[in-house]
Amino acid sequence: MKSETNIADEEAVNIEAIKNHRHSPTGKADNIIRMFEKGMDGREIAKILRFKDMKELGSFMRNAGYKWNDDLENYTLKPQVVHLKTVPMETTEQASESGLNDVLKLLTNNKDKLNELLTEDDTVQMVPRYMLSGVLIAKTISIADSLNDLAKDYCQERNMTQRSMFEVAIIDFLKSMATETK
């Protein structure tokens, strides 16, 4: 069992680690910050990254945890406020024990539902795979960017290529149309 002074020391170390941690933005927010660093105009950035306007770009960055810094003329990470409360160890152990009891009761009360979910037949959600013979031919189609994003996300979640997803979609569409016309 740790004493309260050791816990306080560990909390101080963790706070320092948090303060010294340099946040590295990724994805779209990272692109926006780098474009501003290159001296690009905000309207141009909004247009390139397909935001309606500067207001939508600013809203995106606020939601991503950034705020505009007039001095740097770029976005910076919003400061995070960390509130720590020292709790005596006995209270923590009692709370953990009562919390575990609550979780165990919940699991016991929902045992049948949990078993049903865990043993549910996954074949309903499986995407069919078709083996097609023939030479591959490139086709170019134009689709809305929102549909493109949905296709990318769907394929990434299910570990499949966009080509195989579109093949399944076309084959299933043709099958359904063939049964409707008969």
Q: What is the DSSP string of 69-138?
A: ETTTTEEEEPPPP-------HHHHHHHHHHHHHHHHHHHHHTHHHHHHHHT--GGGGPPP-----S----
pLDDT computed for residue 9 by the predictor: 46
SS3 69: strand
65 pLDDT band, cuts 50/70/90, is confident
Q: Which residues fall within 8 angstroms of residue 164, CB to CB, at 6 or more apart?
A: 129
Give the model's pLDDT for residue 91.
58
Say what the pLDDT of residue 83 is.
Answer: 66
Report the pLDDT value the prediction gives residue 35, as an integer from 0 to 100.
92
Entry pTM:
0.34
Q: What is the DSSP-derived secondary structure letter of residue 45? A: H
Does position 90 have pLDDT exceeding 70, yes or no? Answer: no
121 vs 39, which has greater pLDDT? 39
**Residue 16: band (very low, low, confident or very high) from pLDDT cuts 50, 70, 90:** very low
Domain 4-77 has CATH 1.10.10: yes
| Band of pLDDT at residue 3, cut at 50, 70 and 90 | very low
Give the pLDDT confidence of 100-146 residue by residue, as tens digits. Answer: 888 888 889 988 888 777 775 554 467 787 888 889 888 899 999 99
Radius of gyration of the chain (CA): 27
Query: Cα–Cα distance between 97 and 181 in angstroms, integer?
Result: 64
pLDDT in tens, 142-174: 999 999 999 998 888 888 899 989 999 999 889
Q: CA 108 to CA 86: how far, in whole Å?
A: 33
Q: Given a cut of 70, is residue 4 above it in pLDDT?
A: no
